[in-house]
Structure 1
Amino acid sequence: MNFLFLNSARAWGGNEKWSLMAATSLRKNGHHVALAYRKPVIGERFDLPKHRLPFIGEIDFYTISQLVSIIRKERIEILIPTKRKDYVLAGLACKLTGAKNILRLGIVRDLKNGAYNNWVYNKMADGIIVNAREIKEVLLKSSYMKADKIKVIYNGLEIDAILKKSSESKFEKKFPFTVSAMGFVTNRKGFDFLIQGFAAFLKRSNAADAGLVIIGDGPKMEEYKALARELGVAEKVHFTGFLENPYPVLAQSDVFAMTSKNEGFANALLEGIAMACAAITTPAGGVTEILKHEQDVLIVDYNNIAGLSNAIFSLYQQPEYRRRLAQNAKAKVENAFSLERMTSEMATFCNDVKEGR
């Protein structure tokens, strides 16, 4: 099949990492894959045919005309847009060409019953790929959504590549007991909640050997640095900024924390677990579909600062429990999130949509 991925993002994040992984894997499996992108920070990471477009808005006639031209020239059969704006642009281009528009949604989104969402997610979409059952269940609360149009395909994980990258450079471990977190530093990712919970843990434990490392960049960075100073833990919280290769940091971490308000199934959490970190997570998205509380991970409700503090303290005090959780979660992640399975399921679903099955 011939695929065109669309990504109008301005910065690199989990959605973009998924697009790169999916596009590269489909191409390795013999499909023609191209990319339409907006910013060089996105396009430069893709080693495949690519087209830089303005993506000015949802009704951007120049971008639509260029998409139509690409579809016809490269005989594109499937468009996979990954941002809300891109859903509309891809849908309009597909209506003009007969290609199929398969949205990728990696976050829980309640559509309500608005006419606009009916148009975007139902009438303009030929299929939707989601990475957690909860996302599908929430979409189906809208009366116009159809279950057979939505396919749950869990994220793939390149375990061997991650392990190889983890040894490519050295990371000097600043804290003997290190809690790490990773993601685009925005309000949704809950890093403020994490800093508050970590500060409460330090107050309770007086752990001189503990520290928090936050990997990533984003608009809330300075605000969260100020929060760490306000709570008196600035020397215990290290912000690395964006890292091209974060895996040496994860490999040296004892605990990985995913404290988001809303997710699908976070790549960062899977990667932390793959690096043998014990994990603390909110129940956001599809976490509880695969991972069990106190068996594989510790699950804490968002904004439960005392609960997060207790979870960190429990893992700090009990190294053997920490190792057992890490081993259990790693085994489940490696089994459920293979890249080969994700690629095969994507290709099958896209072909079914193309053939009208």
Structure 2
Amino acid sequence: MRSPSPLRALFVINSLAGGGAERVFTTLVEQLSRRPDEIAITVALLDNEAEEAYRLPAGVQVERLNARGSLLRSIRETRRLVRRLRPDVTLSFLSRANVATIVAMRRTGGPAVISERVNTTAHLRTGRLAFLSRLLIRNTYPTARHVIAVSEGVARTLESDFAVEPARISVIYNPVDTARIRALAEQEPAIPVTPADFVTMGRLVDNKNTAMAIRALAQTQNGGNLIVLGEGPLRDDLAALAASLGVADRVRFAGFLANPHAVLVRAGCYLLTSHAEGFPNAMMEAMAVGLPVVATDCPSGPAEILEVHLDGGEPAYGHGGALVAMDDHAAMARCMAELTGPRRADFSEAAARRAAAFSVESAVERFRGALMDAAREVAS
């Protein structure tokens, strides 16, 4: 008896230039491409970036569409690709790729499964095209076959603000490859780091609010440095802020590191200062190597990970770290002192245990199930 043909799946993302969503996307492709008899994957990269932070498996077909950041080009090129490949199902990551793929699949009637990686309302609160972006999402996301939210907070926002039916949404937390992360952590760090140091990681943009970490550092007395991992347009402004607060010699801008885990494991505490997150990958990777965290109570993710909620303005201590109100750098400074003090070992152990609950195997299996279910619904 002839075995059934593998599911033809088109995976779409803006690019692999770097970031948490790109890392998760690459992990999914790596894991699911090991089952070629079940799923045949083609990857579409909307933008043809000169440099890519992540590598896809050698046997996976890659289509580079060169949309150059344009939504209209992304839609046009994705339509052409879908018309040529006729995939059984699509999986897309990030808002532009999601919108483009949903529109492209309308022509074929095939199922589009999308993954929302940010708290959509918070992420699109401001900006020149924010209103138009929200309107596009409201008019496309509800028609996707299935929407995978990266946290409960993201899921509730999609329901309340973008009219996505709850029955179409499932929550799949980002996978944390703890074995890989811990192996990388054993390597020598690219820069000096001590247990008195604090680390924050991400693009230097308004949403990441790295200024809060610098202000908190200025109120600490432990003598440690703040190591800032990442690049972005606000680097000069942040350096000027550190100088104005008298901590220029304690803030080290290390840029993008290929292996940040070797730095994280040797530091004293991790700081997440964002105004909005979908699911903070960097925070989870810090916890995976046993690094306690102080995180803002931003929408959404940190409170779910630490399993704690703020009650009033005081910090709350949870599983692996502390939660503070957004922009409350004084509270962050107090928690930084607490987490690098005598109780640090307890918080470190709790952080590692919590990270272990977000396994790669569980996340990959749930994504696989979502794709298979979507394809079956159309076929039946």
Q: How high is the TM-score relative to the length of structure 2?
A: 0.84
Q: How many aligned residue pairs are there?
A: 345
Tell me what 1:343 maps to. 364
Identity of matched residues, %: 23
Tell me what 1:269 maps to. 283
Following the alignment from structure 1 to structure 2, what is the Cα–Cα distance between the partners of residues 43 and 53? Answer: 18
Tell me what 1:249 maps to. 263
C-alpha contact 1:12 1:41 (8 A) present in aligned 2: no
1:65 deviates by: 4.3
Match of 2:338 among 311, 314, 320: 314
Point out the more displaced range, 158-167 or 22-31.
Answer: 22-31
Following the alignment from structure 2 to structure 1, what is the Cα–Cα distance between the partners of residues 158 and 78? Answer: 27
Point out the more displaced range, 303-312 or 60-69.
Answer: 60-69
Following the alignment from structure 1 to structure 2, what is the Cα–Cα distance between the partners of residues 153 and 142? Answer: 20
Distance change >3 Å, CA 65–CA 118, structure 1 → 2: closer
One-letter amino acid of the structure 2 residue matched with residue 52 of structure 1: R
Distance change >3 Å, CA 136–CA 97, structure 1 → 2: same
1:110-148 per-residue CA deviation (whole Å, 9 max, x = no partner) reads 39997643322113x221111100111111113732001
Alignment partner of 1:238 is 2:259: no
Following the alignment from structure 1 to structure 2, what is the Cα–Cα distance between the partners of residues 44 and 174? Answer: 25
C-alpha contact 2:99 2:137 (8 A) present in aligned 1: no
Report 1:184-203 matches (<5 A).
184-201=203-220
Distance change >3 Å, CA 42–CA 174, structure 1 → 2: closer
1:75-115 per-residue CA deviation (whole Å, 9 max, x = no partner) reads x2222222322222212221223332111111112399976
Report 1:283-302 matches (<5 A).
283-284=297-298, 285-291=300-306, 292=308, 293-296=316-319, 297-302=321-326
State the SS of the aligned residue for 2:161. coil
Following the alignment from structure 2 to structure 1, what is the Cα–Cα distance between the partners of residues 50 and 149? Answer: 26
1:324 deviates by: 0.4
Match of 1:20 among 23, 26, 30: 26
Following the alignment from structure 1 to structure 2, what is the Cα–Cα distance between the partners of residues 234 and 268? Answer: 24
1:56-90 per-residue CA deviation (whole Å, 9 max, x = no partner) reads 53333651343224533xxx222222232222221
1:129-172 per-residue CA deviation (whole Å, 9 max, x = no partner) reads 11100111111113732001111001111111111112233445
C-alpha contact 2:229 2:253 (8 A) present in aligned 1: yes
State the SS of the aligned residue for 1:238. strand
Structure 2: give runs of 5+ residues left out of the alignment: 1-6, 126-130, 309-315
C-alpha contact 1:43 1:50 (8 A) present in aligned 2: no
Structure 1: give runs of 5+ residues left out of the alignment: none
State the SS of the aligned residue for 1:314. helix
Following the alignment from structure 1 to structure 2, what is the Cα–Cα distance between the partners of residues 149 and 226? Answer: 47
Following the alignment from structure 2 to structure 1, what is the Cα–Cα distance between the partners of residues 44 and 162? Answer: 32
Tell me what 1:42 maps to. 52
State the SS of the aligned residue for 2:52. helix
Following the alignment from structure 1 to structure 2, what is the Cα–Cα distance between the partners of residues 10 and 172? Answer: 25
Tell me what 1:166 maps to. 185
State the SS of the aligned residue for 1:120. helix
Alignment partner of 1:282 is 2:282: no
Tell me what 1:330 maps to. 352
1:3 deviates by: 2.4
State the SS of the aligned residue for 2:66. coil
Match of 2:202 among 174, 183, 193: 183
Distance change >3 Å, CA 245–CA 53, structure 1 → 2: same
1:315 deviates by: 2.3
Following the alignment from structure 1 to structure 2, what is the Cα–Cα distance between the partners of residues 155 and 144? Answer: 24
Q: How high is the TM-score relative to the length of structure 1?
A: 0.89
Superposition RMSD on alpha carbons, in Å? Answer: 2.3
Following the alignment from structure 1 to structure 2, what is the Cα–Cα distance between the partners of residues 126 and 306? Answer: 45
1:197-251 per-residue CA deviation (whole Å, 9 max, x = no partner) reads 11122xxx2x33x111111112222221221112111111111111111111111
1:345 deviates by: 0.8
Tell me what 1:142 maps to. 161
Following the alignment from structure 1 to structure 2, what is the Cα–Cα distance between the partners of residues 49 and 192? Answer: 41
Following the alignment from structure 1 to structure 2, what is the Cα–Cα distance between the partners of residues 257 and 44? Answer: 25
Alignment partner of 1:51 is 2:63: yes
Following the alignment from structure 2 to structure 1, what is the Cα–Cα distance between the partners of residues 191 and 62? Answer: 38
Alignment partner of 1:85 is 2:96: yes
One-letter amino acid of the structure 2 residue matched with residue 46 of structure 1: L
State the SS of the aligned residue for 2:277. coil
Following the alignment from structure 2 to structure 1, what is the Cα–Cα distance between the partners of residues 362 and 67? Answer: 32
One-letter amino acid of the structure 1 residue matched with residue 332 of structure 2: L
